[in-house]
Amino acid sequence: MQNYKEFLEEIIISENQLQKRIAELGAEISRDYKGETLHLICILRGGVLFLADLMRHITVPNSIDFMAVSSYGAGARQSSGKVRITLDLQEDIRNRHVLLVEDIVDSGYTIASVIDFLETRHPKSLKVCTLLNKQERREIPVPIDYCGFVIPDKFVFGYGLDLDELYRNLPFIGTVNTSRYTPPDH
Ligand code: IMP
Ligand code: MG
């Protein structure tokens, strides 16, 4: 397996920048939901690191749940526009203040489908918090209530985001030098 240093082009968001911004988002969310109880829904798997750090900065009472969707075919890096729910929530969201926690909004198809799906269950409110926003790539309009960083149209990895399912554990967000990257053959 390659060491990420072999194909890392640039660290576009450092660990310090991530942690500082996530603390700010947590404070903003805590102010907005003051007096309420918040239900955080993390979209697996890319959102887990973000959720874990974000929730430590949320001071209103909160609960968490997880769902998984698949929008990409194996190995492909383009959203197909079709999103399938592969893991449903454990808990009912009716009448609850729901905040969706996502790693990245790219074309927008994933989050748009998840919003449609969750709205049918009648939450009291439904908002979106994404760490990264690839604004230029948007194909379908989606409401983003909280955004960590707007990033350029480059494939990124680290801090939850994978490269062929690897490297999610890195504490920063980096771009890939594709000419130096070799996909794993496992
Ligand atoms: P969308 O449906 O096109 O908005 O795609 C969103 C999903 O695509 C995210 O949840 C990620 O899993 C994946 N994705 C999009 N861009 C990147 C990237 O640069 N690196 C890693 N995953 C990405
Ligand atoms: Mg994802």
Q: What is the CATH number of the domain that holds 121?
A: 3.40.50.2020
136 inside domain: yes
17 inside domain: no
- Is 3 a residue whose pLDDT tops 50? yes
What torsion, rounded to 10 degrees, do the Cα atoms 159, 151, 114, 145 define? 100
Is 106 among the catalytic positions?
Answer: yes
Which tens digit of pLDDT belongs to each residue from 25-53? Answer: 999 999 999 999 999 999 999 999 999 99
| Ligand 1 pocket member 151 (CB < 6 A) | no
- The active-site residue out of 32, 92, 103, 106 is 106
Domain hosting 151: range is 36-71+79-175
| Ligand 1 pocket member 26 (CB < 6 A) | no
Considering only CA atoms, which residue is closest to atom 16 of ligand 1? 106
Tell me the whole-structure pTM to 2 decimals.
Answer: 0.94
Pocket perturbation via mutation, ligand 1, pick of 8, 82, 101, 103 by most ligand atoms within 8 A of CB: 103
Mean pLDDT confidence for 124-135: 98
Who wins on pLDDT, 81 or 5? 5
Q: In the structure, what pLDDT confidence band is assigned to residue 81 with cuts at 50, 70 and 90?
A: low
Mean pLDDT confidence for 100-129: 96
Q: In the structure, what pLDDT confidence band is assigned to residue 83 with cuts at 50, 70 and 90?
A: confident
User: How far apart are the CA of 125 and the centre of ligand 2, in A?
Assistant: 22
In the chain, helix, strand, coil percent, each to 5?
25, 30, 45
Q: What is the pLDDT of residue 148?
A: 98
133 inside domain: yes
Considering only CA atoms, which residue is closest to atom 12 of ligand 1? 46
12 inside domain: no
180 inside domain: no
User: How far apart are the CA of 46 and the centre of ligand 2, in A?
Assistant: 4
Mean pLDDT confidence for 112-119: 95
Do 79 and 71 form a contact (C-beta atoms < 8 A)? yes
156 inside domain: yes
83 inside domain: yes
- Is 74 a residue whose pLDDT tops 80? no
Q: What are phi and psi of 52, to 5 degrees?
A: -60, -40
| Ligand 1 pocket member 53 (CB < 6 A) | no
Distance CA 164, CA 183 (A): 7
Distance CA 81, CA 161 (A): 19
The b/e string for 118-150 (b: 16+ C-beta within 10 A; e otherwise) is beeeebeebbbbbbbbbeebeeeebebebbbee
Mean pLDDT confidence for 68-97: 80
86 inside domain: yes
Q: Which atom of ligand 1 is nearest to the CA of 134?
A: 16
Tokens 């309420």 -> residue: 36
| Ligand 1 pocket member 181 (CB < 6 A) | no
Query: In this prediction, what percent of the chain has a pLDDT beyond 90?
Result: 90
Report the number of distinct structural domains present in the chain.
Answer: 1
Mean pLDDT of the chain: 94
